[in-house]
Chains A and B, each alone.
Chain A
Protein backbone atom coordinates (compact mmCIF):
# COMPACT_ATOMS: atom_id res chain seq x y z
CA UNK A 1 0.00 0.00 0.00
CA UNK A 2 0.82 3.73 0.04
CA UNK A 3 1.88 3.99 -3.58
CA UNK A 4 2.42 7.36 -5.19
CA UNK A 5 2.93 7.78 -8.90
CA UNK A 6 4.20 10.68 -10.98
CA UNK A 7 3.79 11.44 -14.64
CA UNK A 8 5.78 11.99 -16.69
CA UNK A 9 8.95 10.42 -15.36
CA UNK A 10 11.01 12.72 -17.53
CA UNK A 11 10.33 15.62 -19.84
CA UNK A 12 12.41 17.79 -22.14
CA UNK A 13 10.98 21.09 -23.23
CA UNK A 14 11.97 24.32 -24.91
CA UNK A 15 12.56 27.48 -22.95
CA UNK A 16 9.38 29.49 -22.51
CA UNK A 17 6.97 26.58 -22.56
CA UNK A 18 4.94 25.31 -19.61
CA UNK A 19 5.15 21.81 -18.22
CA UNK A 20 2.60 20.00 -16.08
CA UNK A 21 3.59 17.21 -13.70
CA UNK A 22 0.97 14.96 -12.14
CA UNK A 23 1.18 13.28 -8.75
CA UNK A 24 -1.31 10.58 -7.81
CA UNK A 25 -1.87 8.54 -4.68
CA UNK A 26 -2.95 5.16 -6.00
CA UNK A 27 -4.25 3.33 -2.99
CA UNK A 28 -4.99 5.91 -0.34
CA UNK A 29 -6.55 9.30 0.04
CA UNK A 30 -3.92 11.99 0.29
CA UNK A 31 -5.19 14.83 2.42
CA UNK A 32 -1.88 16.61 1.99
CA UNK A 33 0.58 16.55 -0.87
CA UNK A 34 4.02 18.08 -0.99
CA UNK A 35 6.22 19.16 -3.87
CA UNK A 36 10.00 19.04 -3.62
CA UNK A 37 12.83 19.99 -5.86
CA UNK A 38 16.18 18.21 -5.81
CA UNK A 39 19.42 19.21 -7.50
CA UNK A 40 22.14 16.61 -8.17
CA UNK A 41 23.83 15.30 -5.02
CA UNK A 42 21.72 17.56 -2.83
CA UNK A 43 18.89 17.06 -0.40
CA UNK A 44 15.22 17.63 -1.05
CA UNK A 45 14.01 21.20 -0.94
CA UNK A 46 10.36 21.67 -0.07
CA UNK A 47 8.60 23.94 -2.53
CA UNK A 48 5.02 23.87 -1.34
CA UNK A 49 2.42 22.05 0.68
CA UNK A 50 -1.08 21.56 -0.64
CA UNK A 51 -4.25 20.37 0.99
CA UNK A 52 -7.12 19.08 -1.07
CA UNK A 53 -9.47 21.82 -2.10
CA UNK A 54 -7.42 24.72 -0.80
CA UNK A 55 -4.60 26.92 -2.02
CA UNK A 56 -1.08 25.66 -1.70
CA UNK A 57 1.29 27.06 0.90
CA UNK A 58 4.58 27.98 -0.70
CA UNK A 59 7.96 28.02 0.99
CA UNK A 60 9.88 31.24 1.17
CA UNK A 61 11.60 32.03 -2.09
CA UNK A 62 9.36 29.84 -4.24
CA UNK A 63 7.38 31.85 -6.79
CA UNK A 64 3.75 30.80 -6.69
CA UNK A 65 3.08 32.29 -10.12
CA UNK A 66 5.97 30.32 -11.53
CA UNK A 67 5.10 26.99 -9.95
CA UNK A 68 1.34 26.53 -10.05
CA UNK A 69 -0.02 23.82 -7.80
CA UNK A 70 -3.49 22.38 -7.94
CA UNK A 71 -4.81 19.75 -5.54
CA UNK A 72 -8.22 19.11 -7.00
CA UNK A 73 -8.96 15.76 -5.42
CA UNK A 74 -7.75 13.48 -2.65
CA UNK A 75 -5.72 11.47 -5.13
CA UNK A 76 -4.32 14.04 -7.55
CA UNK A 77 -2.08 17.08 -7.35
CA UNK A 78 -0.44 18.84 -10.26
CA UNK A 79 2.58 21.09 -10.51
CA UNK A 80 2.83 23.34 -13.54
CA UNK A 81 6.15 25.00 -14.26
CA UNK A 82 5.16 28.06 -16.26
CA UNK A 83 7.44 29.68 -18.84
CA UNK A 84 10.19 27.24 -18.01
CA UNK A 85 13.82 28.28 -18.32
CA UNK A 86 17.04 26.25 -18.16
CA UNK A 87 17.52 27.12 -14.48
CA UNK A 88 14.24 25.31 -13.77
CA UNK A 89 15.83 22.05 -14.89
CA UNK A 90 15.76 19.76 -11.88
CA UNK A 91 14.32 16.61 -10.35
CA UNK A 92 10.82 17.29 -9.04
CA UNK A 93 9.40 14.89 -6.49
CA UNK A 94 5.98 14.81 -4.92
CA UNK A 95 4.92 13.12 -1.73
CA UNK A 96 1.59 12.43 -0.14
CA UNK A 97 0.30 11.75 3.33
CA UNK A 98 -3.07 10.54 4.46
CA UNK A 99 -4.91 10.46 7.71
CA UNK A 100 -3.91 6.97 8.82
CA UNK A 101 -0.20 7.75 9.17
CA UNK A 102 -0.37 11.48 8.97
CA UNK A 103 3.28 12.29 9.47
CA UNK A 104 4.69 9.75 7.05
CA UNK A 105 5.12 11.06 3.56
CA UNK A 106 5.15 8.56 0.72
CA UNK A 107 7.11 9.73 -2.25
CA UNK A 108 6.57 9.44 -5.95
CA UNK A 109 9.35 8.30 -8.28
CA UNK A 110 10.17 11.84 -9.36
CA UNK A 111 10.13 13.72 -12.66
CA UNK A 112 13.31 14.81 -14.39
CA UNK A 113 12.72 18.15 -16.12
CA UNK A 114 15.23 19.40 -18.67
CA UNK A 115 14.64 22.81 -20.21
CA UNK A 116 16.63 23.53 -23.34
Chain B
Protein backbone atom coordinates (compact mmCIF):
# COMPACT_ATOMS: atom_id res chain seq x y z
CA UNK B 1 0.00 0.00 0.00
CA UNK B 2 0.99 3.62 -0.23
CA UNK B 3 2.97 4.86 2.72
CA UNK B 4 5.19 7.50 4.15
CA UNK B 5 8.73 6.38 4.94
CA UNK B 6 12.09 7.71 6.03
CA UNK B 7 15.55 7.29 4.52
CA UNK B 8 17.62 7.28 7.74
CA UNK B 9 16.65 5.57 10.96
CA UNK B 10 19.27 7.38 13.10
CA UNK B 11 21.02 10.70 12.66
CA UNK B 12 23.85 11.80 14.91
CA UNK B 13 25.00 15.43 14.85
CA UNK B 14 27.22 17.70 16.88
CA UNK B 15 25.66 20.37 19.02
CA UNK B 16 25.49 23.60 17.05
CA UNK B 17 25.44 21.92 13.65
CA UNK B 18 22.44 21.92 11.36
CA UNK B 19 20.36 18.74 11.07
CA UNK B 20 18.47 17.50 8.07
CA UNK B 21 15.88 14.76 8.45
CA UNK B 22 14.42 13.31 5.27
CA UNK B 23 11.10 11.70 4.46
CA UNK B 24 9.79 10.10 1.27
CA UNK B 25 6.14 9.63 0.55
CA UNK B 26 4.58 7.48 -2.10
CA UNK B 27 1.01 8.73 -2.34
CA UNK B 28 0.99 11.39 -5.02
CA UNK B 29 -2.42 12.55 -3.80
CA UNK B 30 -1.00 13.61 -0.43
CA UNK B 31 -1.31 17.34 -0.09
CA UNK B 32 -0.61 18.11 3.53
CA UNK B 33 2.39 17.17 5.64
CA UNK B 34 3.31 17.56 9.29
CA UNK B 35 6.51 16.99 11.22
CA UNK B 36 6.24 15.76 14.79
CA UNK B 37 8.89 15.38 17.49
CA UNK B 38 8.55 12.61 20.04
CA UNK B 39 10.68 12.43 23.15
CA UNK B 40 11.03 9.17 25.00
CA UNK B 41 7.87 8.19 26.88
CA UNK B 42 5.89 11.18 25.62
CA UNK B 43 3.34 11.89 22.95
CA UNK B 44 4.34 13.49 19.63
CA UNK B 45 4.69 17.25 19.59
CA UNK B 46 3.70 19.32 16.56
CA UNK B 47 6.68 21.08 14.96
CA UNK B 48 5.65 22.46 11.60
CA UNK B 49 3.32 21.73 8.71
CA UNK B 50 3.26 22.45 5.00
CA UNK B 51 0.64 22.27 2.29
CA UNK B 52 1.37 20.99 -1.17
CA UNK B 53 0.95 24.43 -2.74
CA UNK B 54 4.16 25.47 -0.97
CA UNK B 55 7.71 24.20 -1.32
CA UNK B 56 9.18 25.78 1.78
CA UNK B 57 8.01 26.92 5.17
CA UNK B 58 10.02 28.28 8.06
CA UNK B 59 9.46 28.27 11.76
CA UNK B 60 11.65 29.00 14.72
CA UNK B 61 14.97 27.24 13.94
CA UNK B 62 13.14 24.80 11.67
CA UNK B 63 12.48 24.73 7.96
CA UNK B 64 10.44 22.20 6.02
CA UNK B 65 11.10 21.69 2.33
CA UNK B 66 8.72 19.89 0.03
CA UNK B 67 9.67 18.52 -3.37
CA UNK B 68 6.53 17.22 -5.01
CA UNK B 69 8.38 16.10 -8.14
CA UNK B 70 10.26 13.40 -6.27
CA UNK B 71 7.73 13.11 -3.41
CA UNK B 72 10.21 14.08 -0.76
CA UNK B 73 10.18 16.38 2.22
CA UNK B 74 12.81 17.32 4.74
CA UNK B 75 13.04 18.96 8.11
CA UNK B 76 16.00 21.20 8.72
CA UNK B 77 16.92 22.16 12.26
CA UNK B 78 19.36 25.03 12.63
CA UNK B 79 21.95 25.13 15.41
CA UNK B 80 20.90 21.78 16.82
CA UNK B 81 20.72 21.63 20.60
CA UNK B 82 20.75 18.68 23.02
CA UNK B 83 17.06 19.30 23.64
CA UNK B 84 16.40 18.47 20.00
CA UNK B 85 17.33 14.84 20.63
CA UNK B 86 14.19 12.85 19.92
CA UNK B 87 12.47 10.75 17.27
CA UNK B 88 11.05 12.77 14.41
CA UNK B 89 8.08 11.59 12.38
CA UNK B 90 6.68 12.94 9.16
CA UNK B 91 2.98 12.44 8.60
CA UNK B 92 0.77 13.01 5.62
CA UNK B 93 -2.88 13.54 4.88
CA UNK B 94 -5.07 14.01 1.88
CA UNK B 95 -7.36 16.95 2.51
CA UNK B 96 -10.85 17.03 1.18
CA UNK B 97 -11.41 13.30 1.37
CA UNK B 98 -13.28 13.49 4.66
CA UNK B 99 -10.63 11.29 6.19
CA UNK B 100 -8.71 13.34 8.70
CA UNK B 101 -6.39 10.61 9.91
CA UNK B 102 -2.68 11.05 9.38
CA UNK B 103 -0.35 8.40 8.04
CA UNK B 104 2.93 8.36 9.92
CA UNK B 105 6.36 7.46 8.66
CA UNK B 106 8.63 5.08 10.52
CA UNK B 107 10.59 7.80 12.33
CA UNK B 108 14.19 9.03 12.53
CA UNK B 109 16.07 9.24 15.80
CA UNK B 110 18.13 12.40 16.14
CA UNK B 111 21.04 12.19 18.56
CA UNK B 112 22.80 15.42 19.42
CA UNK B 113 26.36 15.01 20.65
CA UNK B 114 27.58 17.69 23.10
Chain A positions within 8 Å of B, measured between CB atoms, are 2, 4, 6, 32, 34, 42-44, 46, 49, 93, 95, 97, 102-110, 112
Known A43-B106, A97-B100, A103-B100: A109·B49 in contact at CB below 8 Å: no
Which residues in A have their C-beta under 8 angstroms from that of B44?
A: 44, 93, 95, 107
Contact B107 A43 (CB under 8 A): yes
Contact A103 B93 (CB under 8 A): yes
Counting CB contacts under 8 A, is B61 at the interface?
no
Which residues in B have their C-beta under 8 angstroms from that of A106?
A: 46
Contact A32 B34 (CB under 8 A): no
Q: Within the assembled complex, what's the spacing in Å between the Cα atoms of A102 and B100?
A: 8
Interface residues in B48-92 by Cβ distance below 8 A to A read 49, 89
Contact A49 B49 (CB under 8 A): no
Choose one: B32, B49, B104; the contact of A43 (CB below 8 Å): B104
Q: Produce 1/0 per residue, B87-109, CB < 8 A to A.
A: 00100010100011111111100
Known A32-B100, A34-B101, A43-B107: A103·B95 in contact at CB below 8 Å: yes
Chain B contact residues: over half helix, strand or loop, or mixed?
loop
Which residues in B have their C-beta under 8 angstroms from that of A112?
A: 41
Q: Within the assembled complex, what's the spacing in Å between the Cα atoms of A74 and B44?
A: 21
Which residues in B have their C-beta under 8 angstroms from that of A107?
A: 36, 43-46
Contact A110 B107 (CB under 8 A): no
Q: A103-B100, A109-B43 given; name 10 further pairs at CB < 8 Å.
A: A4-B43, A34-B102, A43-B107, A44-B44, A46-B102, A93-B44, A102-B100, A103-B32, A105-B102, A107-B45
Q: Taking the nearest CB of chain A, how far is it from the CB of B61, in angstroms? A: 19
Q: Which residue of A lies closest to B31 (CB)?
A: A103
